[in-house]
Amino acid sequence: MTSYKELGLVNTREMFAKAVAGGYAIPAFNFNTMEQMQAIVQAAVETKSPVIMQVSKGARAYANGTILRNLAKGAVEYAKELGCENPQIVLHLDHGDTFEICKECIDNGFSSVMIDGSHLPFEENIALAKKVVDYAHQFDVTVEAELGVLAGVEDEVSAAESHYTQPEEVIEFSQRTGCDSLAISIGTSHGAYKFTPAQCTRNADGILVPPPLAFDILHAIEEKLPGFPIVLHGSSSVPQEEVATINKFGGNLPDAIGIPEEQLREAAKSAVCKINIDSDSRLAMTAAIRQHFAEHPDHFDPRQYLKPARENMKKMYIHKIVNVLGSNNKL
């Protein structure tokens, strides 16, 4: 058993309480590679922001759980080396789907886990989440559960249709599970194609404008659970300049579209205290690499193209922290 405390990591409890009270949100960035980890830590240190580094089942399959855990340990030491005396870094399991995977992560250095039973019937979702909470809390590991289903087309957690969270269910769910935070469904979804063109309108320049998030549901949930930490998944904004760069240099991402940043900024001021971003990092990395290859066809050393990729991700992370989530200077 490796406790996250030995690795210098923290759980989410205190940072969420401060974020809810302070009207900002903690960034939860997915990582699969060393370059993503470095860019996340550099951005968090430079902006003096707490940060959640999250690992999906797909990331564990790609990079190996032991390697990712040690990258997170390295992240704490790296942050200190960069001049941050007291980094606030959470290592979080994203979309854990069984008790066993949550237990394995808790036993191996994760400070926070998500148990995603959102696809299950209400009673089964509660039973599974409670089982994880009962285990996790023995080790002071915090637990995120989910109520409501997000749509998504690209990853292992996708569902064809979304079902908004029903505000009348959240009190019973949070009380009976004992979860520390609750992911809700209010119109976000995973991946770089969050809406079909048919679901959007077009502005005067022909740019797709997505439908707004269901803020009425968010506010109804806040009324039922005052001050309770709420989580938004599927919150990439799919920057159109990155999509344009990808398409200019040989890519093919027609009509990729995300959540407008003003809406995320608005959400961050509410009880939403954790905002999950993965696709924007993928886009930033891919855009920089495609551009680099187009401009330097003779390059074949991965360091040559991963360096601008890392820089571009760092720029994106800093932008999110400072201009969207507002978690800068909150250490």
Which residues here bind ligand 13P, judged by CB under 6 A? 30, 94-95, 190-191, 233-236, 276-280
Min dist CB 304 to ligand 13P, Å, is 27
Q: Which does 58 bind (CB under 5 to 8 A by kind): ligand 13P, ligand G3H, Zn ion, none?
A: ligand G3H
Give the type of residue at 224.
K
Min dist CB 32 to ligand G3H, Å, is 7
Of residues 164 through 203, those in contact with ligand G3H by CB under 6 A are 190
DSSP 57-106: HHHHHHH-HHHHHHHHHHHHHHHHHTT-SS--EEEEEEEE-SHHHHHHHH
Asked if residue 132 binds ligand G3H (CB under 6 A), the reply is no
Q: Which is nearer to ligand G3H, 87 or 187 (CB)?
A: 187
**Block residue for tokens 């809810």:** 20
Q: Which is nearer to ligand G3H, 26 or 84 (CB)?
A: 26
Q: Which does 174 bind (CB under 5 to 8 A by kind): ligand G3H, ligand 13P, Zn ion, none?
A: none
Report the residue from 57, 69, 233, 310 that binds Zn ion according to the rule CB under 5 A: 233
Min dist CB 20 to Zn ion, Å, is 20
Asked if residue 58 binds ligand G3H (CB under 6 A), the reply is yes
Report the C-alpha gap between 56 and 323 in whole angstroms. 26
Q: Please, is 50 exposed, middle or buried when counting C-beta atoms within 10 Å of its C-beta (0-12, 13-18, 19+)?
A: buried
255 is catalytic: no
**Block residue for tokens 């019937």:** 121
Min dist CB 99 to ligand G3H, Å, is 19
Helix (H) or strand (E) holding 245: helix 240-248
Residue 89 neighbours by CB under 8 Å, 6+ apart: 8, 9, 10, 41, 44, 50, 51, 52, 53, 72, 75, 76, 79
What does the binding site for ligand G3H look like in residue numbers (CB under 6 A)? 30, 56, 58-59, 94-95, 155-157, 190, 278
Any idea which residues carry the catalytic annotation?
94
